[in-house]
Amino acid sequence: MKNEYIVTTHKDVDQYEFVKLLRKHDIDINVNFSGLERHYYVSFAASKLEMLLAEPEILHIAPAEAPVKLMATQNISVNASGFGGNWGLTRICKRDEWNDNTWYPNSGTYTYFRTGKDVDVYVVDTGARLTHTDFEDRISVVYDHYKSSKDLRYGVDEQGHGTHVASTIAGKKYGVAKEAQILVSRVFETGGATLTAIISGINACLVHHNQKKAAGMNRPSVMNLSLGGPAHITEEQAINDCIDAGIVIVAAAGNDGRDLAEPGYDVMPAEIARAVTVGAADIQDRAATFSNYGYMVDVFAPGMYITAAGFERDNDEAMLSGTSMASPHVAGVCALKLQKNTAPIDGTLVKEVHDWIWNNATNNTLNLSESITSAGTANKSVFSDFLVAEEPVTEVSRTIEDVVEIAVTRDPVTTTTFEDTTETVTNPDGSTTTTVTRHYTDTNVITVTTTTTTTPITTITYSDGSTEVITGEPTVNVAVTEEISTVERTEVISEETTPAPTPEPEPTPEPTPEPEPEPEPEPDMLYTCTEDGYVCGPECWDEHRAKEKK
Residues with active-site annotation: 125, 161, 324
Secondary structure (DSSP) of 431-480 = -EEEEEEEEEEEEEEEEEEEEEEEEEEEEEEETTS-EEEEE---EEEEEE
DSSP structural state of residue 93: T
Q: Tell me how many degrees the CA angle 228-232-236 measures, rounded to the nearest 5.
A: 80
Sheet with strand 276-281: strands edge to edge: 139-144, 181-186, 120-125, 221-225, 247-252, 276-281, 299-302, 380-381, 362-363
Secondary structure (DSSP) of 160-227 = SHHHHHHHHHH-TTT-SSTTPEEEEEE--BTTBEEHHHHHHHHHHHHHHHHHHHHTT----EEEEE-E
Give how far the C-alpha of residue 155 lies from the chain's centroid of Cα atoms, to the nearest Å.
29
CA 290 – CA 432 distance, rounded (Å): 126
* Helix, strand, or coil (residue 125): strand
CA dihedral 187, 50, 26, 40 (to 10 degrees): 20
The amino acid that residue 431 corresponds to is S
Q: How many other C-beta atoms lie within 10 A of the C-beta of residue 341? A: 18
* Helix, strand, or coil (residue 334): helix
DSSP structural state of residue 256: S
Closest Cα partner for 321 from 278, 366, 291? 291
Quote the radius of gyration of the chain (alpha carbons, Å).
Answer: 56
Instruction: Determine contact, residues 110/89, Cβ cutoff 8 Å.
Output: yes
CA 170 – CA 163 distance, rounded (Å): 11
CA 57 – CA 19 distance, rounded (Å): 11
CA 453 – CA 474 distance, rounded (Å): 6
Distance (Å) of CA 300 to CA 109, 289, 336: 20, 13, 18
Give how far the C-alpha of residue 122 lies from the chain's centroid of Cα atoms, to the nearest Å.
22
Phi, psi (rounded to 5 degrees) for 528: -100, 120
Secondary structure (DSSP) of 39-77 = EEEEEEEGGGHHHHHTSTTEEEEEETT-EEEE---EEEE
